[in-house]
Amino acid sequence: MFYVIFLHFFFRDYCPVAWLDAGALSATGKVGGFGFVAEYEGKFYKMASPENLEKFLLAPDKYASGESLPKDLPYKLTFTETQLLDDENCSLLGHCPVSLIQSRILGPSGQKIIEGSSNCAVSYKGQVFRFLSEAESTEFLSYPEKYAHAKLPRFQPLSQLSFCRLLTQMVL
């Protein structure tokens, strides 16, 4: 005989320790998995690591009664969903917000305006963002507010597509 157990995790599949200590929306692994779980006052909490589980167990009141998750959470788009998008339907015209923000430390001359991959996209607050790779996508999923407000610089280098459009207009 098999029993199916359904648990409601208070922070869904996010780690309350990562959220409350670092402001990171740290996924706890496989959705529905039972990695590092603690029960406190009848509620279940999943942690992203054994270290975070230990922190939770040492101060459960701090994490169980802390700030709840934000209302809007980012989510990865499926491969099929990403294939239906074009640059005009994406925020920043399909450029990677993580690369853009992280390169700003170098100053305006060092800004990297990198086109995101058509296979790597996240939806957040009604906008779709593309990313250079899974690493940038994961960074965005952890800290969406840090990157969601990125803006393209006023002047941008021509992409291959823009250059082809320019040549076409010149010929016509």
Question: Is 137 inside any structural domain?
Answer: yes
Question: Is 172 inside any structural domain?
Answer: no
Non-local (6+) Cβ contacts of 105 within 8 A are none
Question: Is 88 found in the same domain as 37?
Answer: no
Instruction: Identify the pLDDT of residue 103.
Output: 81
In b/e form, how buried is each residue of 103-140, taking b as 16+ CB within 10 angstroms? beeeeeeebebbbbbeebbbbbeeebbbbbbeebbebb
Question: Is 117 inside any structural domain?
Answer: yes
Residue 4 has pLDDT above 50, yes or no: no
Question: Is 87 found in the same domain as 52?
Answer: no
Question: Is 88 found in the same domain as 125?
Answer: yes
Question: Is 82 found in the same domain as 28?
Answer: no
- Residue 34: pLDDT band by 50, 70, 90 thresholds? low
Instruction: Identify the pLDDT of residue 167.
Output: 58
**Domain extent for 44:** 16-64
Question: Is 167 inside any structural domain?
Answer: no
- Helix, coil or strand: residue 51: helix
pTM metric for this prediction: 0.73
Question: Is 160 inside any structural domain?
Answer: no
Non-local (6+) Cβ contacts of 128 within 8 A are 77, 85, 89, 90, 91, 121, 122
Question: Is 69 inside any structural domain?
Answer: no
Number of domains in the chain: 2
Question: Is 85 found in the same domain as 23?
Answer: no
Question: Is 132 found in the same domain as 80?
Answer: yes
Question: Is 54 inside any structural domain?
Answer: yes
Longest dimension (CA), the chain: 74
Residue range 37-83, pLDDT digits in tens = 999 998 889 999 999 999 999 999 999 987 888 889 999 999 899 98
Closest CA to 69 of 3, 6, 13: 13
Question: Is 134 found in the same domain as 102?
Answer: yes
Question: Is 133 inside any structural domain?
Answer: yes
Question: Is 142 found in the same domain as 80?
Answer: yes
Question: Is 95 found in the same domain as 50?
Answer: no
Residue range 92-118, pLDDT digits in tens = 999 999 999 988 655 555 567 888 998
Instruction: Identify the pLDDT of residue 132.
Output: 93
Question: Is 82 found in the same domain as 54?
Answer: no
Question: Is 136 found in the same domain as 84?
Answer: yes
Question: Is 148 found in the same domain as 108?
Answer: yes
